[in-house]
């Protein structure tokens, strides 16, 4: 029940965050936000999980909202990077779409705590921070739509409604963060494989691309 066990699925070291105390606070915040939601989490809880006094938080972050923003920004950067890598990769549209869904889903399952905060606490952000993040999300949407459009143009896919299908594919992947449970029966890899297959069916790709 402690932080250590809960974090097993999240081997990511958040290595880009320094100094060490700031990273420990950020990791603690991810856990707390994921478990109870942003608004139900107190700054005392975050500081306590990081083994510090409540005041220590404000040495490294101006406000509680800035902590959320940092998490959201890093998470969206990572998510967008995953999708762009797949979109810009080699291979047929089906192969790239499959790879995109597989790695995107694997990230959402393997880092489901981070992903939950990233995907479901968007409107806890302040106005400026939210518009910044929304811009990143539009880029994610564009990356997926790009692959699907390629597939349609190449005759690989049969998609009557490209924007709608793009939305559905992303929605399907994102919602993994809501239901995925480390104690469940499926590994992130298995869910990724299942979802890649389902998405190829959604776009009408010939089976087993």
123 binds its own copies (CB under 8 A): yes
- Interacting residues with its own copies between 33 and 52 (CB under 8 A): 36-37, 39-40
Helix, strand, or coil here: 207? coil
Longest C-alpha distance within the chain, in Å? 60
172 binds its own copies (CB under 8 A): yes
Tokens of 170: 């992303």
Nearer to its own copies, 56 or 143 (CB): 143
Residue 116 contact among its own copies, DNA, none, beta carbon within 5 to 8 Å by kind: none
202 binds its own copies (CB under 8 A): yes
Helix, strand, or coil here: 26? helix
Nearer to DNA, 28 or 196 (CB): 28
72 binds DNA (CB under 7 A): no
- As a dihedral over the C-alpha atoms of residue 110, residue 115, residue 117, residue 118, rounded to 10 degrees, the angle is 160
The DSSP string of 75-111 is: HHHHHHHHHHHHHTSSS-HHHHHHHHHHHHHHHHHHT
21 binds DNA (CB under 7 A): yes
Select from 28, 33, 41, 124 the one that contacts DNA (CB under 7 A). Answer: 41
Neighbouring C-beta atoms of residue 205, cutoff 10 Å: 22
Tokens of 102: 């597989």
178 binds DNA (CB under 7 A): no
Residue 43 contact among DNA, its own copies, none, beta carbon within 5 to 8 Å by kind: DNA
Neighbouring C-beta atoms of residue 150, cutoff 10 Å: 17
Neighbouring C-beta atoms of residue 197, cutoff 10 Å: 17
42 binds DNA (CB under 7 A): yes
Using CB under 8 A, list all residues that contact its own copies.
36-37, 39-40, 120, 123-124, 160-161, 164-165, 167-168, 171-172, 174-176, 178-179, 186, 191, 194-195, 197-198, 201-202, 204
- Which residues of the chain form contacts with DNA (CB under 7 A)? 19, 21, 41-45, 47, 51-56, 58-60, 62-65
């Amino acid at each position: 029940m402690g932080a250590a066990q809960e974090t097993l699925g999240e081997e990511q070291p958040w290595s880009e965050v320094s100094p060490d105390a700031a990273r420990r606070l950020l990791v603690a915040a991810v856990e707390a936000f994921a478990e109870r939601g942003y608004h139900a989490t107190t700054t005392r809880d975050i500081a306590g999980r990081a083994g510090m006094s409540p005041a220590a938080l404000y040495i490294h972050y101006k406000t509680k909202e800035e902590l959320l923003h940092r998490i959201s920004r890093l998470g969206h950067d990572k998510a967008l990077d995953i999708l762009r890598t797949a979109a810009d990769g080699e291979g047929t549209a089906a192969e790239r779409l499959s790879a995109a869904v597989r790695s995107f889903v694997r990230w959402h399952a393997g880092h489901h705590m981070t992903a939950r905060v990233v995907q479901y606490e968007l409107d806890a952000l302040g106005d400026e921070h939210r518009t910044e993040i929304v811009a990143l999300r539009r880029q994610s949407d564009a990356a997926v739509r790009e692959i699907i459009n390629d597939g349609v143009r190449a005759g690989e896919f049969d998609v009557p409604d490209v924007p709608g299908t793009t939305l559905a594919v992303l929605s399907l992947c994102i919602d993994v963060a809501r239901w995925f449970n480390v104690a469940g029966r499926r590994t992130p890899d298995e869910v990724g494989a299942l979802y890649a297959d389902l998405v190829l069916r959604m776009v009408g790709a010939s089976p087993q691309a």
